A and B are shown apart, each in its own frame.
Chain A
Amino acid sequence: DTGVSQDPRHKITKRGQNVTFRCDPISEHNRLYWYRQTLGQGPEFLTYFQNEAQLEKSRLLSDRFSAERPKGSFSTLEIQRTEQGDSAMYLCASSSPQANTEAFFGQGTRLTVV
């Protein structure tokens, strides 16, 4: 599979629990993005990596959220002490270093906090 892969596709968790999502980008892409999308809304930017460096973080990324890309390949997004408002689709995208190139999205992880 040469696309962006996200795991799991769906996650149901109880409020207060921690969850971790994984994203495997397209192998030659050094840029990786995380977005959050709630029902009826467009994706909202969370954070951006270039290789292993986290270069940009949105104010949406509260201190309960942490993202890593330790070896510049796959990335993880962890949410601690989940709240019901965290329920959303979490999308990962990757792109190559060249300007004006496509960003390819994964299928997303649907999180439901109950």
Chain B
Amino acid sequence: KNQVEQSPQSLIILEGKNCTLQCNYTVSPFSNLRWYKQDTGRGPVSLTIMTFSENTKSNGRYTATLDADTKQSSLHITASQLSDSASYICVVSSYQAGTALIFGKGTTLSVSS
């Protein structure tokens, strides 16, 4: 069964600190992996998209890594800001599932001052 598991479920950090969110998947065959940021009551916004051959990709203070062998990904946030408070969702696309995106449940990040 195609699944995407994220950890931790929630996280609280102080402004300025770094954090790392984890994503494990069992989706096969693998097409690509995406990280989305979703503010409360809003639609998800894409942060990064990584294909099989990409190990790391950065978008400002966000850096995503992908290990396609172990089927793991991480999202590292550097020097967190209050505006980083949101849900971060790992999404995997599989060719076998058509082009449907398989979503994790997300990690809720709260950045406090």
Contact = CB atoms under 8 A, between A and B. Distances in A.
Interface stretch (B61-69, B74-82, B99-107): B99-107
B19 to A, nearest CB: 19
A43 B100 contact: no
Interface residues of A, number: 30
Contacts of B44: 43, 91, 105
Given A48-B98, A100-B32, A100-B51, A42 B43 contact: no
B66 to A, nearest CB: 13
A24 to B, nearest CB: 13
Contact of A56 (B31, B46, B93, B98): B98
Contacts of B34: 102-103
A91 B105 contact: no
B40 to A, nearest CB: 10
Interface in A23-51: 31, 33, 35, 40-45, 48
Name which of A43, A55, A89 has the most chain B CB atoms within 10 A of its CB.
A43
A99 B31 contact: yes
Nearest to B103: A42
A51 to B, nearest CB: 13
A55 to B, nearest CB: 6
B42 interface: yes
24 contacts: A6-B43, A31-B99, A33-B101, A35-B103, A41-B106, A42-B89, A42-B105, A43-B103, A44-B103, A45-B101, A48-B98, A48-B99, A55-B98, A56-B97, A91-B43, A93-B101, A100-B49, A102-B34, A102-B49, A103-B34, A103-B46, A103-B101, A105-B43, A105-B44
